[in-house]
Amino acid sequence: MEDIEDMEDAADGFIALDGLEKVFDVRRRVGAFRREKRRVRAVDGISFRVARGEMVGYIGPNGAGKSTTIKMLTGILTPSGGRVRVAGIDPSRERARLASRIGVVFGQRTTLWWDLPLIDSYRLAQRMYRVPDARYRANLERCVELLDLGALLDVPVRQLSLGQRMRGDIAAALLHDPDVLYLDEPTIGLDVISKAKVREFLRDLNAEHGTTVLLTTHDLQDIEQLCGRVMVIDHGRLLYDGPPAGLHEVGGSERTLVVDLERETAPIELPDVPDVRVVRVEGPRQYLAFPATGSAAPLVARVAAAYPLVDLSVREPDIETVIAKMYVEGATVPEDRTTV
Ligand SMILES: Nc1ncnc2c1ncn2[C@@H]1O[C@H](COP(=O)(O)OP(=O)(O)OP(=O)(O)O)[C@@H](O)[C@H]1O
């Protein structure tokens, strides 16, 4: 086998994990005097390859091990076992060298200086990463334009809305032209328009600059709109690795069409539309479950033709539900993604 340290630019090994493990020893108080030691296998033997320029989703329920993996990929945490390389670099051994190659955005925490105007955080980032002036100016200009930050540069970060702050954070992570961007919940708490802006920017970044993106999120629409590939992790293990659509096939998950009718009616019946059923009725509002693999359009057309429709929306299944169904159905991890 070729040594992965020599594989920085190999098509399938820009990010390479082989049997990666992280074990935490946690001490817990039991009763008044006793303490109990417990081992938590936060990451329990994960192997995968991400090629340069891929945009990959990394999802799982709370406590699955996502942040721990990302922390090992950035070098913040040292693995308990296995191997990890990013751009040919061992992250925990050469954290400083890796820092110039990666950008990190945490949706729940900001890396910006709370009391300073946005632009001051950017100047500090320029100094920290030693970005040459011309490159800094060009990158800043691009981010300001595409992320719509022009009017915000002189505003102290604490006065920014969540959506503005998130766009500000993404720009800060990109001023040094990283090859890899890790995004941890980049759309959490954002309104629909801010989500759309962030997604559009990431799509362009990936397409035009070939930036490799690893994205953790609880929003399946982030994955469906951005990623050609998604990995699902639970209890520190890889449960699924493949296209987002396959996620629904494996789990047999459903989306929900929520329809508001002019008035209360008996539960909607559409005998000629397969696999649709009313799961809840709240006065004039009815909830219809249908397979997540299918399109909502024919269903909407049929409801609109037969019932007095006022309004509608489509709800995606949540990640927890999809994963719970995977256990029932029996998930698959394609061999070629997980073996060395
Ligand atoms: N520093 C730590 N010390 C002890 N246990 C930890 C530590 N960090 C994480 N864990 C435990 O490891 C497991 C995985 O946590 P991790 O934060 O990686 O999950 P996650 O998938 O990122 O979850 P979330 O979506 O809630 O952020 C959890 O059981 C967590 O309690």
Q: For ligand 1, is residue 320 a contact (CB within 6 Å)?
A: no
> Rounded CA gap, 207 and 54, in Å?
9
Average pLDDT over residues 264-274: 89
pLDDT digits (tens, 9 = 90+) for 70-91: 999 999 999 999 999 999 999 9
pLDDT digits (tens, 9 = 90+) for 277-289: 999 999 999 999 9
Question: Residue 68 Cα, ligand 1 centroid: separation in angstroms?
Answer: 6
Question: Residue 21 Cα, ligand 1 centroid: separation in angstroms?
Answer: 13
Q: Which of 38, 46, 62, 68 best tests ligand 1's pocket when mutated (most atoms within 8 Å of CB)?
A: 68
Q: Report the chain's mean pLDDT, rounded to a whole number.
A: 87
Average pLDDT over residues 150-164: 93
pLDDT at residue 248 in the model: 76
> Rounded CA gap, 122 and 135, in Å?
13
Average pLDDT over residues 142-167: 91
Long-range contacts of the stretch 201-204 (C-beta < 8 A, 24+): 201/146, 201/147, 201/167, 201/170, 202/55, 202/170, 202/226, 204/146
Average pLDDT over residues 103-119: 89
The H or E element spanning position 38 is strand 34-50
Q: For ligand 1, is residue 188 a contact (CB within 6 Å)?
A: no
Q: Which candidate, 225, 226, 230, places its Cα nearest to that of 244?
A: 230
Q: 8-27+39-244: what CATH class?
A: alpha beta
Assess whether pLDDT exceeds 80 at residue 318. no
Question: Residue 29 Cα, ligand 1 centroid: separation in angstroms?
Answer: 19
Q: Which of 26, 67, 323 best tests ligand 1's pocket when mutated (most atoms within 8 Å of CB)?
A: 67
Question: Which protein residue's CA is at the shortest distance from atom 2 of ligand 1?
Answer: 24
Q: For ligand 1, is residue 24 a contact (CB within 6 Å)?
A: yes
pLDDT at residue 272 in the model: 82
Least confident of 75-84, 120-129, 136-145, 245-254: 245-254
pLDDT digits (tens, 9 = 90+) for 4-62: 444 455 545 799 999 999 999 988 887 777 888 888 999 999 999 999 999 999 998 88
Assess whether pLDDT exceeds 50 at residue 293. yes
Q: Which candidate, 223, 177, 292, places its Cα nearest to that of 66?
A: 223
- Looking at the chain, the whole-number percentage of residues with pLDDT higher than 70 is 92
Average pLDDT over residues 169-178: 93
* Per-residue 3-state assignment (H helix, E strand, C coil) for 232-284: EEECCEEEEEECHHHHHHHHCCEEEEEEEECCCCCCCCCCCCCCCEEEEEECC
pLDDT at residue 62 in the model: 87
Domain extent listing, the chain: 8-27+39-244, 254-316
Question: Which protein residue's CA is at the shortest distance from atom 3 of ligand 1?
Answer: 24
Q: For ligand 1, is residue 114 a contact (CB within 6 Å)?
A: no
Average pLDDT over residues 114-141: 93
Q: For ligand 1, is residue 60 a contact (CB within 6 Å)?
A: yes
Q: Which two tokens stand for residue 93?
A: 């051994």
Q: For ligand 1, is residue 108 a contact (CB within 6 Å)?
A: no
pLDDT at residue 218 in the model: 86
| Residue 330: pLDDT band with limits 50, 70, 90 | low
State the ipTM, two decimals. Answer: 0.97
Question: Which protein residue's CA is at the shortest distance from atom 29 of ligand 1?
Answer: 63
Contact yes or no for 57/222 (Cβ under 8 A): yes
Question: Residue 134 Cα, ligand 1 centroid: separation in angstroms?
Answer: 40
